[in-house]
Chains A and B, each alone.
Chain A
Amino acid sequence: AQSVTQLDSQVPVFEEAPVELRCNYSSSVSVYLFWYVQYPNQGLQLLLKYLSGSTLVKGINGFEAEFNKSQTSFHLRKPSVHISDTAEYFCAVSSGAGSYQLTFGKGTKLSVIP
């Protein structure tokens, strides 16, 4: 079985400050990890994904995430946030060679303060 824990339900941060949104996963097999963003009253949009290879993954809108197998983490970072980054962020995991199902975390609401 696979699971995802997003350690913070809400993260307030001032504009132009750095931010880290934390995600830990559990799985007994190889994993594929994703971060999705949901802007108010919209669907989910893929920010970035880790499938294999380099553990540092760069995504859209200046976000990046680092896969850490020993710590079973996939934290999302941005060096300088903008008001437009205010949204809810979801970490998700898909594990196993034949599975295409995603298990989502409960989400982290990022609020950027002017």
Chain B
Amino acid sequence: NAGVTQTPKFRVLKTGQSMTLLCAQDMNHEYMYWYRQDPGMGLRLIHYSVGEGTTAKGEVPDGYNVSRLKKQNFLLGLESAAPSQTSVYFCASSLPHNRLREQYFGPGTRLTVT
């Protein structure tokens, strides 16, 4: 049981390039989330998904797109990377209708845009 995994762990992009971050979970969780973490800002929600085929915007969605084609995977895309998107990206997952309301986090992807 690997929990939540993220690919890649590190990436350097040039301004204008595109990339996709992959999040996978093996806990059969219904809900999945993408956050970005910046120094002194805590974690901010980018997009989330409450089930296969559904996505919704979070607090800071601009410049990102997401897809949830399979229940276990949640993809975060950057179509045209900007230096402001330099950050550490975390994926998380959780069960719905769960009184525990706990989110399980992946190890993060460190992205640098030059």
* Residues of A near any B CB (own CB < 8 A): 6, 9, 32, 34, 36, 42-46, 49, 51, 90, 94, 100-107
Contact = CB atoms under 8 A, between A and B. Distances in A.
A104 B43 contact: yes
Contact of B43 (A9, A46, A90): A90
B96 interface: yes
A107 to B, nearest CB: 5
B72 interface: no
A51 B40 contact: no
B2 interface: no
Most chain-B CB neighbours within 10 Å: which of A9, A100, A103? A100
A110 to B, nearest CB: 15
Interface of B: 4, 31, 33, 35, 40-45, 48, 50, 58, 90, 92, 94, 96, 99-103, 105-108
A18 B58 CA distance: 37
Given A104-B43, A107-B42, 11 more contacts: A6-B42, A9-B40, A44-B92, A49-B100, A49-B101, A94-B101, A100-B94, A101-B48, A101-B58, A102-B103, A106-B42
A42 B108 CA distance: 7
Given A100-B96, A104-B42, A45 B101 contact: no
15 contacts: A32-B101, A34-B102, A42-B107, A43-B90, A43-B105, A43-B108, A46-B102, A49-B101, A100-B50, A100-B96, A100-B101, A100-B103, A101-B58, A102-B43, A106-B42
Nearest to A46: B102
Contacts of B44: 104
Contacts of B45: 101-103
